Amino acid sequence: MKNYETEAAWEYHGGTKHPNGILLNRLHTYHPANRPYPYKKYRNARQIMLSLDRHPTGISALDAISDSVRQYKGIIPDVNLLSRILYFSGGITKTIKFSPPLGEVEFRAASCTGALYHIEMYIVCSDVPGLEAGVYHFDPKNMSLSVLRKGDYRRVIADATADDSSMSRYAVTLVFTDVFSRNAVKYQAREYRHAFWDCGTMLANSLAMASAHRVPYKITMGFVDYQVNQLLGLDEKKEASLALLSLGNPVQYSAGPLPLDKIAESEALEYDFDLTAINDMHESSSLTSRQEVSAWRNQADQKVLHTDKKENSLASHAGADEGIEQTIISRGSTRKFSHDSISQEQLSTILATSTKGIVSDFENVTINDVYLIANAVDGVEKGAYFYNKKESLLKVLQKGEMRHVAGHLGLDQSLPFDASVAIFFMADLQKVLQQFGNRGYRVAQMDASIMAGRMYLASYALRIGATGLTFYDDEVTDFFSPHASNKSAMFMLAIGKKARKT
């Protein structure tokens, strides 16, 4: 099975490291005038306009992020609830005008590398109130759904997941896909990392909204790639499925399988960019049969990796805590931090709420550990730390002033130098790949980015700022060694108070 020929993941990971990965051309340039059009359109597909209720649920952001809101049985999302989840996951929340050639940019609910918005969202559902069974594409530009197929195609999803018994519990499945060239035009082969970074931050929003509405959910990473992509009508060399998010309680399948006829063609701009390394990594981490998916899931259940119960309790919220909807609307990627300190309580709140477990097909294992450099946290000495998620404790690795270290590790940028805290999510890839195969590379990136996405939201709920960053891979490992000597950085996040505008 190609998935367990893990030299593919090692070659991709090593080849996309900063600064000298062989899959990255250091002379490559990107000009904002060449920013790809960030929307997918379908020719001749019927459009269903979605109404949007922006009223708050009354659930605090921190409760929603930590998934501490009780989920209720018997909930089937209607079209209005789906509209809210879609909007607060990937809808347009603000528009900012920049000087030419960039011009007007429509920013969305979740962060995205380079604001290139390469993650698309689709719906596969049974009949739900206000929406007939079918396959749909979400258009955030017009806040509408494009009808791709009519009928209940959830059997295809169930079959692609090897009849995972839990899949029959859900009325709706959201499928998150990646349009490779839309991000690769700027970031080259490293795009495939960004696919999961940006999908994960969107999923963090989706999970928070599901929690706020008390809707049961499950994230699935193990599925037959070709079957899901075929259902959506994707050209796998250009766009591919990354993750499934199933929502709601049982609805019986309609009788008999439905035909997979050709669907409406999409209008997509073509970008002349070599996607070979991305296609190779995606193919090498694809699962090709029900049997392979079943075997993969059994590996996930064996708990080879270190496990955490992740039952941290948050005694109190630190300071202000907005509702989840307002937090998502106000969220942005902080462009400049002050050197002002955040409080120890704010940091502990962000860490505790964001590192609780999620319902997924890899939930039995802890994939990523959390390391951080504290530059300015009242009550916490300056230095480098390991965060013990199970005990909610910081373990001192080094003490001392480390702003310059944080700035350097974050690709010599000012943001991590100025921020109060620089956070690194790190995975033992040797163990991850041994257990999950090349698919484990996808899981490691996704696990880190969901945690980071939750930290993004928790920071803004507490009215401080955050931004995701890239990094010098090997230097991050070296800095946190020997504690992290066997681990690789998956994601970096800077958190702190936003600088006041002058």
CA-to-CA distance for 230 and 262, rounded, in angstroms? 9
Give domain status of residue 107, yes or no.
Answer: yes
* 244 and 354 share one domain: no
Residue 317 counted as domain residue:
no
CA proximity to 69, closest of 212, 205, 206, 204: 212
Whether 285 and 335 share a structural domain: no
Token pair in block for residue 176: 């998150």
Domain that holds residue 272: 2-300
pLDDT digits (tens, 9 = 90+) for 362-389: 987 789 999 999 999 999 999 999 999 9
- Give the H/E segment covering residue 212: helix 191-212
- Tokens 């590398």 locate to 113
Please say if the pLDDT value at position 255 is more than 70. no
Residues 49 and 33: their CA atoms lie apart, in Å, by 31
In terms of domains, do 281 and 407 share one?
A: no
Same domain (yes/no): 83, 37: yes
Determine which of 8-22, 300-314, 357-371, 457-471 has the lowest per-residue pLDDT on average.
Answer: 300-314
| Total count of domains within the chain | 2
pLDDT, averaged across the chain: 91
Percent of the chain residues past pLDDT 90, beyond the cut: 79
Banded model confidence at residue 166, pLDDT cuts 50, 70, 90: low
- Looking at the fold, whether 36 and 159 belong to one and the same domain comes out as yes
pLDDT in tens, 405-423: 999 999 999 999 999 999 9
- Nearest-angstrom CA–CA distance, 490 and 492: 7
- Residue 235 and residue 133 in contact, taking contact as beta carbons nearer than 8 Å: no
Contact between 312 and 356 (Cβ < 8 Å): yes
User: Under a CB-based contact definition with an 8 Å cutoff, are residues 109 and 90 in contact?
Assistant: yes
Same domain, 170 and 267: yes
Residue length of the chain: 502
Residues 438 and 292 in one domain: no
Domain-located, residue 66 = yes
276 and 334: one domain? Answer: no
Task: Please indicate, yes or no, if residue 458 is contained in any of the structural domains.
Answer: yes
419-449: pLDDT as tens digits: 999 999 999 999 999 999 999 999 999 999 9
Does a structural domain hold residue 307? no
Q: Helix (H, G, I), strand (E, B), or coil: what is residue 177?
A: strand
In one-letter notation, the amino acid at residue 64 is A
- Is residue 164, in this structure, part of any structural domain at all? yes
User: Domain check: are 64 and 190 in the same one?
Assistant: yes
Residues 110 and 55 in one domain: yes
CATH no. for residue 173?
A: 3.40.109.10
Q: Cα separation of 424 and 442, whole Å?
A: 17
Enumerate residues 6+ apart whose C-beta is below 8 A from 400.
382, 383
pTM (two decimals): 0.95
Q: Indicate if the pLDDT at residue 312 is higher than 70.
A: no
> What is residue 372's predicted lDDT score, i.e. its pLDDT?
98
Helices 290-300 and 429-436, axial angle in degrees (round to 10): 140
Of the candidates 385, 348, 350, 353, the residue with the CA atom closest to the CA atom of residue 370: 385
